[in-house]
Amino acid sequence: MSTDLQLRAAFNPLIRPYLVITIGLTMATTIIGLPLALIWFLGVGQWWARHYFDKLECHLDDKTLRYRKGILVSVEKTIPLENIQDVTFIEGPILRHFHLSTLKFETAGHSAGQANDMHLTGIIDGHEFRNRIIAAREALKHKQQPALPGQSSATGAQADDQLAVLHSIDRKLEQLIELMKVQK
C-alpha cells in the first residue's frame, strides 16, 4: 500500500475502568445480571478490559481508515475514506469524567443497524484525529477530481483537443447559418 499519510491512533488507558464500570452497571440493572455484575467487578471485568485495550488498533492512511477491536468477537473494519460522509465527535458527562470521547463514522450506503458498529471510544486527542480523517478525505477527493485545463500536461493536451473540436463545430455552425441566409 502506497501511502503519503500514515497515522496510528493512540488509545487512552482510562478506557479500561470506563468499560468495567459501564458494563458492570449495565449488568447490575437487572436482577439476573446482579450476580454477574459482582463477578464482573471482582476481576473478570478488569481482565476483559485489559485484553480489549490491548487489541484496540486504528490506522489512517491516505485512502482508508482501518480499525480493530474485540476479544471473543473481533471486529476489523476497513473504511475507504471516500465512503466516509461524516465523523461525529461524542463526549458525554461519563466519557468526560474519564477524559474519553467517541468517534462515530457515518458512511455512504450504511443501514441503521450497522451504524452502531462503526464507532471508536478512547482515542487520545479525538478532535485532532477527527480533523485528520476529514482532511485526508478531502485530500483524496481533490486528488480524484479531474484536473482543470493547464494543471497537467496530459489533461491540458486533452482540453486543447476538446477546445479545437469545439472551435471546429462553431465554424461549421457559422457556415451553416451563412448558407441558410443566402438561400432565403
Split at pLDDT 50, 70, 90, the class of 176 is: confident
Structural domain contains residue 71: yes
Asked if residue 122 belongs to a domain, the reply is yes
Q: Sheet holding 84-90: strands in order across?
A: 84-90, 102-107, 119-121
- Domain that includes residue 14, residue range: 6-144
Domain end, chosen from 144, 160, 175, is at: 144
pLDDT at residue 157 above 70? Answer: no
Look up the CATH number of the domain holding residue 13. 2.30.29.30
Q: Which three cell numbers stand for residue 113?
A: 443497524
Q: What grid cell was written down for 164? A: 479545437
152: pLDDT confidence band, cut at 50, 70 and 90?
low
Question: 75 is written with which cell numbers?
Answer: 471486529
pTM exceeding 0.75: no
Are residues 177 and 132 both part of a single domain?
Answer: no
Q: Which amino acid is at 112?
A: A
Position 132 pLDDT exceeds 60: yes
- Residue 1 covered by a domain: no
pLDDT for 106 equals: 86
Pair 26, 60 in one domain: yes
Look at the chain and report how many structural domains it folds into.
2
